[in-house]
């Protein structure tokens, strides 16, 4: 598989052009599946050439990192691990907490669960408004000097916050939702990332499964599947938003591809500094996702596609109000 570099071309992080989002292996996508089977899925991803595996302390909490750590233990020299912290976790709540002592404690815990002596890319999962981002950057600087993390990033941060953080300790990547049905970062965020040579790791590139064309208004979501609470996954919203899937279906026919492959190849075609991280619990889907890297769009095709999808009104917010308030800080 081809590689891409997140961050500065001379000192950035080189990874496969498609990564793997590990969250859904045992968290927020219904009841957890067999652990051994999910470890096999990760091994299948490695076999296809994927080198970036993304997890987080809060997924579970903790259990996703443990699963990823076990799966990657014998392959550590082949892969890069990204994880996220910045929460104070209790049995009932996840409070934002980016104080230095909290971050350091989180990193130490992640290192143990991931069975590694360093984290390739460590993100602040959500910006804590109570802690100046400059102080957070200094904590990251300290952790880099100690060799516990090699690169750092932010997740769902504003352009201003990105600039302020980068001035203190250069960021390698921003992790943000980005897909054909969520393009808001194109206006303010992507220009800043390009200016500062910061990569973008695009989570939910398949719209949490919606852009695969496998879901419709009659879809039901099991307990522990967070899509039950997301405004875009009400029956009404999914029915209205089928128009974007129909457009992808038509494109897929012209490229002899699947709708999911078109959604991923569209992201890859935007900028070479963007890496999508689709997740799956099915090894065959990994092969499908990786094959998206072979689909090529001409500049004219991309211009037409972007014009057309810009005309499609997307119904429903991506997060409930409480979660929405934690993004874009």
* Active-site residue, from 27, 59, 123, 203: 59
**pLDDT tens digits along 247-299:** 999 999 999 999 999 999 999 999 999 999 999 999 999 999 999 999 999 99
Q: Find the mean pLDDT for residues 62-82.
A: 97
Report whether pLDDT(91) > 90. no
State residue 6's pLDDT score.
98
Percent of the chain whose predicted confidence (pLDDT) is above 90: 95
What lies within 8 Å, CB to CB, of 60 at 6+ separation is 26, 27, 66
Confidence class of residue 199 from pLDDT cuts 50, 70 and 90?
Answer: very high
Is 27 in the active site?
Answer: no
CB 45 within 8 A of CB 53: yes
> What rounded mean pLDDT belongs to the chain?
96
Domain ranges in the chain are 3-324
165: left (phi over 0), alpha (psi -120 to 50) or beta: alpha
* Number of residues that this document lists for the chain: 329
**pLDDT tens digits along 136-185:** 999 999 999 999 999 999 999 999 999 999 999 999 999 999 999 999 99
CB 104 within 8 A of CB 135: no
> Distance (Å, rounded) from C-alpha 289 to C-alpha 1?
12
Closest CA to 159 of 189, 136, 131: 189
Report whether pLDDT(122) > 90. yes
State residue 152's pLDDT score.
98
DSSP β-bridge partners for residue 94 = 89
Query: Is the N-terminal amide bond of 61 cis, ω within 30° of 0?
Result: yes
**pLDDT tens digits along 227-248:** 999 999 999 999 999 999 999 9
Q: How would you classify the pairing of strands 87-89 and 94-96?
A: antiparallel
What HEC string does the chain produce?
CCEEEECCCCCCEEEECCCEECHHHCCCECCCCCHHHHHHHHHHHHHCCCCEEECCCCCCCCHHHHHHHHHHHHHHHHCEEEEEECEEECCCCEEECCCHHHHHHHHHHHHHHCCCCCEEEEEECCCCCCCCHHHHHHHHHHHHHCCCEEEEEEECCCHHHHHHHHHHCCCCEEEEECECCECCHHHHHHHHHHHHCCEEEEECCCHHHHHHCCCCCCCCCCCCEHHHHCHHHCHHHHHHHHHHHHHHHHHHHHHCCCHHHHHHHHHHHHCCCEEECCCCCCHHHHHHHHHHHHCCCCHHHHHHHHHHHHCCCCCCCCCCHHHHCCCCC
Confidence class of residue 92 from pLDDT cuts 50, 70 and 90?
Answer: confident
Would the pTM count as exceeding 0.75? yes
> Distance (Å, rounded) from C-alpha 89 to C-alpha 87?
6
Closest CA to 235 of 258, 256, 253, 210: 210
The CATH class given to the 3-324 domain equals: alpha beta
Q: Find the mean pLDDT for residues 26-32.
A: 92
What lies within 8 Å, CB to CB, of 38 at 6+ separation is 25, 26, 32, 67, 71, 281
């Amino acid at each position: 598989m081809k590689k891409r570099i997140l961050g500065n071309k001379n000192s950035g992080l080189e990874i496969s052009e498609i990564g793997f989002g590990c969250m859904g292996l045992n968290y927020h996508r219904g009841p957890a599946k067999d652990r051994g089977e999910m470890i096999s899925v990760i091994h299948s991803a490695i076999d296809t050439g994927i080198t970036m595996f993304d997890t987080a302390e809060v997924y579970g909490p903790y259990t996703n990192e443990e699963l990823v750590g076990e799966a990657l233990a014998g392959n550590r020299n082949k892969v890069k691990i990204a994880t996220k912290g910045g929460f104070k976790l209790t049995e009932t709540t996840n409070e934002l907490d980016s104080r230095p002592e909290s971050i350091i404690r989180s990193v130490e815990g992640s290192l143990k669960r991931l069975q590694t002596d360093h984290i390739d890319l460590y993100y602040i999962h959500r910006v804590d408004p109570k802690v100046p981002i400059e102080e957070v950057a200094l904590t990251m600087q300290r952790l880099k000097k100690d060799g516990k993390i090699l690169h750092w990033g932010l997740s769902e941060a504003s352009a201003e916050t990105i600039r302020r953080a980068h001035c203190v300790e250069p960021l390698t990547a921003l992790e943000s939702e980005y897909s054909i049905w969520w393009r808001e970062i194109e206006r303010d965020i992507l220009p800043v990332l390009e200016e500062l040579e910061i990569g973008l790791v695009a989570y939910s590139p398949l719209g949490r499964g919606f852009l695969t064309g496998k879901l419709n208004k009659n879809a039901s979501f099991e307990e522990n599947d967070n899509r039950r609470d997301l405004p875009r996954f009400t029956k009404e919203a999914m029915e209205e938003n089928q128009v974007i899937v129909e457009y992808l279906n038509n494109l897929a026919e012209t490229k002899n591809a699947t709708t999911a492959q078109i959604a991923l190849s569209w992201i890859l075609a935007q900028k070479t500094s963007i890496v999508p991280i689709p997740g799956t619990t099915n090894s065959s889907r990994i092969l499908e996702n990786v094959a998206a890297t072979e689909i090529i769009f001409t500049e004219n095709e991309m211009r037409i596609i972007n014009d057309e999808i810009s005309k499609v009104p997307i119904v429903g917010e991506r997060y409930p109000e409480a979660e929405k308030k934690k993004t874009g800080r």
